[in-house]
Amino acid sequence: MFEEVMSLFTDELDLIIKSSDSHLKKADLGIRLCNDMLTKLQLSVEKEDFEDVLSEIDFFKNLKPFPMSYLIYFSEIRSCELNIPKAGVKHKIHFLEKEIKKVNKFFAQNNDFVHYMEQNHNYLDHQFFTRNYRDNFPFTPTINYYQYPEFSTSHDMLWAKVQALYRFIHYIRESLQKLQPDNTSLYSEKKHKLLLWSGSKTALVELIYALYVSGNINHGAIDLQTISTSFEDIFNVKLDNIYKTYSEIKARKGNRTKYLNQLIVQLEQKMHRDDEA
């Protein structure tokens, strides 16, 4: 029902994130894209609604929060870019540190819900992610990002904001790092001297993309470049243009995910050997 429109949205979102535009320009483009996407989803739900409660939960727990989280993320970045002091490194650092405190306060206030989601619980999903219970646990954000009563549950926007602030934290840290490039106490390199990637870089990119699309890192609230940078640090390897490498992987004839398939075969063989032993 939503696959095609979500696929198009993801492609356009990826182009914005990868672009060389300023943070403010990306935020403006991203806000427009996310608003358009949410409107499309809203109209679709109004037209067809859901077949059952499970499909409603899936939509408000897994689908709607994706564009909603990016709308909040881009809105927070836009606000930050517009309000950060224009001069004085110390003033800018102080402003960003206050933003971190706000984020920490949000997570502290919503600790129980964040724990529920991070543990992949589902016993309260019918209350959190169906519209029948939206008045029971109202979440009123300080900014009215996008909210229509018939298109909201009590916690779908809260879940979207959790994911958005995971991304926003990364933006703040990057901004602080640019202002404090020599602050080793905050941004010390953690090189794992015993871990060296000895496979091909193409294989590593294949693995990185697989983890990215799975959404199993930070509940999907992380961008591809951050995952790539983390792998570079862990395995003491420098990856070149991962997007170009991914294009080359897609262009393969026949078996396009040959490294991932190889991992499956090798693990299966290991299990068989263990069984025989």
Q: Per-residue pLDDT averaged across 165-189, rounded?
A: 76
Rounded distance, CA 130 to CA 151, Å?
A: 10
CA distance 90 to 83: 15
Q: Which long-range contacts link 11-15 to residues 24+ away (Cβ below 8 Å)? A: 13/70
Q: Average per-residue pLDDT in the chain?
A: 85
Task: Tell me: pLDDT of 187 over 60.
Answer: no
Which residue intervals of 19-141 are DSSP H helices?
23-48, 53-58, 65-83, 89-109, 111-118, 125-128
**Which pLDDT does position 142 carry in this prediction?**
45
pLDDT per position as a tens digit, 96-123: 999 999 999 999 998 899 888 887 788 9
Which one has a higher pLDDT value, 177 or 33? Answer: 33
Q: What is the pLDDT of residue 194?
A: 65
pLDDT tens sequence across 212-263: 988 888 777 777 888 888 888 788 788 878 888 999 999 998 889 999 999 9
pLDDT tens for 61-87 read 988 999 999 999 999 999 999 999 988
Q: List b or e across 65-89, with b for residues whose CB sees 16 or more CB atoms inside 10 angstroms.
A: bbbbbbbbbbbbbbebbeeeeeeee
Show the CA angle centred on residue 114, arms to residues 62 and 111, nearest 5°: 160
The answer to whether residues 71 and 42 touch, using CB atoms and an 8 Å cutoff, is: no
137: which DSSP letter? S
* pLDDT at residue 188 greater than cutoff 50: no
